[in-house]
Amino acid sequence: MDMYIRIKRDKTTYFIRCKASDKILDIKEKLQELVDKPAKDQRLILPGTGEVLDDSKTLADQKIDTDAVVALTLRKDDNEFEEVNIVRPSDFYQTRDAEGASCNSTVVTNERAGAEIVYGSEECFNHSIQLLEELGFPKGVLPLKDLVECGRVRETGFVWMKQKAPSEHYFEGTKTLVSYGIEVTAYVEKFKMKKMSGIKSKQLFVWVPIVEMSIDGFNGKKMYFKTPMGIGKSFHVTSFMSVEEKEKYEKLQLKDKEVEIKEN
């Protein structure tokens, strides 16, 4: 039967899909690409007891069930292993009653299985900026505040970002007020975020959900936003750029014009 466990190290969590019959060594091999450390340089530990898990035993042998939390430590340069150091959000160790769990919560759990998660304001900010850069978006297009958790499932493209509280941002360049819920989710691919939730734009006196945003390719000049009805609007990409990005963009545009003048 398929299951998942949460592997935690410092402020990062890895959701690992597995089976009860998988050996601890199998889990370490799945982690290898994520942490860039071979299995021999990883140690998996039960946080509650401090027990070091045996590579040759299965998850079932060591009574590790789905949604279990396991701490990860890595071998240091001095050949010693790190001490266990994990962040524990208040809901992390809550017991889940399988019979009482709703269908929606099961869907959410499955949707996030296999995710890499980071916690904390600075770590989440860096994570969100890296994501936007990777997708080809300007850094200011998702001005979320006081982030506490960010997650990404690379296999499916599902991402989420959690704030301490809902927030609003007024984009001066588009004259638009946008609200952001406590959690913003989306499925991402290069130059696009789709199936978005948690974002609304105020149109006259009505808050309209934004379910998709995209940019027209590398060095694109337009960003496009769609509502659930398929109605879209586009704005110049500079409306969502940071000050630094805008300066670089303007310099590039100036150089392009100079080249064009010389060629003519």
- What span, in angstroms and rounded, lies between the C-alpha atoms of 185 and 115? 13
What residue spans in the chain does CATH classification 3.10.20.90 cover?
2-114
Q: Is the pLDDT of residue 91 over 50?
A: no
198 Rama sector, left if φ>0, alpha if ψ -120 to 50, beta otherwise: left
- What span, in angstroms and rounded, lies between the C-alpha atoms of 240 and 222? 10
CB 5 within 8 A of CB 26: no
Fold (CATH) for 2-114: Ubiquitin-like (UB roll) (3.10.20)
- Between 97 and 219, where is the model more confident? 219
pLDDT at 205: 85
What residue spans in the chain does CATH classification 2.30.240 cover?
119-247
Number of H helices, E strands in the chain: 4, 14
pLDDT at 10: 85
Lowest-pLDDT choice from 25-39, 109-123, 141-155: 109-123
The answer to pTM > 0.75 is: no
CA distances from 4 to 27, 73, 138, 154, 229 (A): 11, 19, 34, 16, 36
pLDDT tens digits, 17-74: 889 999 999 999 999 888 889 999 999 999 888 899 999 999 999 999 988 899 999 9
pLDDT at 21: 95
What residues have CB less than 8 Å from 139, skipping those under 6 apart? 129, 132, 133, 241, 242, 245
- For the domain spanning 119-247, the CATH number is 2.30.240
- Percent of the chain predicted with pLDDT > 70: 87
Strands 222-226 and 206-209: unpaired
pLDDT bracket for residue 87 (50, 70, 90): low
